[in-house]
Amino acid sequence: MYMASRQLDFQSFVDRLTFAMQFVQDACFGASSPPTIMVISLYKHDGILQFNRLVLTGSIAVLNKVAIEQLQLAAARNRMVAKLWTVFEKAGVLMGRWLLR
């Protein structure tokens, strides 16, 4: 009885893992993993932006940092402009699918 229960648990685990992998591929336009996207704030007017293997500093990183801050504040205030976040998020995942892998 214990062995049958253990096999059932393992099969359940495999089913959940398969579902999770399919979810990642569906959400990431067929990629096996999401892109690595990070923006790190280095005080008010400086930052670092990483997009997969590309690392940028300076103005472009600061612009991304400000955009993230403003869109997240707008989302917290339930403003319509926060819908842009979804567009930017999908664009980042789509670009990560083919660029700089």
The average pLDDT across 65-89 equals 86
The average pLDDT across 45-52 equals 89
Number of helices (H), then strands (E), in the chain: 3, 3
Q: Is the pLDDT of residue 24 over 90?
A: no
Phi first, then psi, for residue 25 (nearest 5°) are: -65, -40
Give the Cα separation of 63 and 11 in Å (integer).
47
Q: Is the pLDDT of residue 74 over 70?
A: yes
Banded pLDDT at 18 (limits 50, 70, 90): confident
* Structure letter (DSSP) for residue 54: E
Helical packing angle, 59-76 and 83-98, nearest 10°: 140
User: Strand ranges (DSSP E) for 1-101?
Assistant: 37-41, 47-51, 54-57
pTM recorded for the entire structure: 0.60
Domain extent listing, the chain: 2-98
pLDDT of res. 31: 73
Nearest alpha carbon to residue 96 among 40, 36, 38, 23: 36
